[in-house]
Amino acid sequence: MQPQTNTTEPKIQPNHRTVAVLPSFFTLGNCLCGFLAIFFASRMADTKLLWDWTPLTVGAVFVFTGMLFDALDGRIARRTGQTSELGEQLDSMADMVTFGVAPAFLAVQLVAAETPFLSAKGDTYFDRTALIIACIYVACAAIRLARFTLEVPSGDQADHLSFEGLPSPGAAGTVASLVLLHQHFLARDNTQQWTMTLASIGMVIVMLMVALVMVSRLRYVHVTNRYLHKRAPLEYIAICVIVGLLLAINLQGALAASFVTYALSTPLAWCYQKMKHRAAQTTPNP
């Protein structure tokens, strides 16, 4: 008589025991960039850093560095055939730090002078509003990343040509690029107070806007997979290089304009289609 074996013990899948080394390094690099962005953004505004960069500038640069790591880890995993469920979960957690928490912290550090709700003096409704909208941004980023993990069929490039809702790196890039623009052009001794106030209000509005479109069902194109992962004539390559070099003349302004345009493109197209459809319905037939 053979001894009975315990069949109730859960079996551990092989892909849960091990993880791909190289893609995981890039994913963890993305996560650490988010932490470093928060760390530097929490320093005093007058902290002396290399190249006369402000702490918020360094924080925004680390957000963009995290975007580079995020773009590379998935591509390396697909090229080497090392995709796994564990890697996807790790990537989602890293994105939450770099593209969810870090941009919201940068924005609050930029616009909120005092500690909202708990400050004994200087607590304003604007500071409270900025903190609440930053919380909304973080919550929407978490929902966006969780939904993306569940709804995207696979890691194949064919499943990443477009997304429902603004991707979290696009939202983070929009906020971080505006922080860079603010630090480069507006954070100067001769800047008028009304200009600073207007920039702060604009930052809060943009942060709320990108938070809402992250959890929307609006369809956003994946620019890299759609336009850069294909064969093209040499003229196309030359035009891309020339445009990139021209944009580098004013890098901060070009980044802000590019990300804001991308974030607004789909909502504006949706509004245009709705208005066009309504106008067609109200136009009497001849």
Give the SS3 label for residue 206. helix
CA separation, residue 266 to residues 207, 227, 254, 271, 277 (Å): 16, 17, 19, 9, 16
Q: Which of 42-56, 95-109, 161-175, 270-284 bottoms out in mean pLDDT, i.e. has the lowest?
A: 270-284
Structural domain includes residue 14? no
pLDDT for 49-62, tens place per residue?
A: 888 899 999 999 99
pLDDT for 147-168, tens place per residue?
A: 988 876 555 555 556 788 899 9
pLDDT for 33-80, tens place per residue?
A: 999 999 999 999 888 888 889 999 999 999 999 999 998 887 887 777
Q: What is the dihedral of CA 220, 225, 228, 230, to 10 degrees?
A: -130
**Long-range Cβ contact pairs of 222-228 (< 8 A, separation 24 or more):** 222/160, 222/161, 222/162, 222/163, 222/167, 223/262, 224/71, 225/157, 225/160, 225/161, 226/161, 226/162
Structural domain includes residue 135? yes
Tokens of 201: 């209000």
State which residues form the domain around 73: 20-282
Span 213-223, average pLDDT: 89
Please state the domain count of the chain: 1
pTM of the full predicted structure?
Answer: 0.85
Q: What is the mean pLDDT of the chain?
A: 83
Structural domain includes residue 5? no
Check residue 107 and give its pLDDT.
Answer: 95
Structural domain includes residue 13? no
pLDDT band at 207 (very low <50, low <70, confident <90, very high): very high
Tokens of 96: 């939450």
Structural domain includes residue 168? yes
Q: Alpha helices of the chain — where are they, by DSSP H?
A: 14-17, 21-41, 55-80, 85-95, 102-111, 125-151, 168-181, 193-214, 223, 234-247, 251-282
Structural domain includes residue 225? yes
C-alpha 129 chain-centroid distance: 21
Structural domain includes residue 82? yes
Check residue 12 and give its pLDDT.
Answer: 43
Structural domain includes residue 203? yes
* Phi and psi at residue 230, to the nearest 5°: -155, 165
Nearest of 187, 167, 8 to residue 92 by alpha carbon: 167
> What radius of gyration do the chain's Cα atoms show?
22
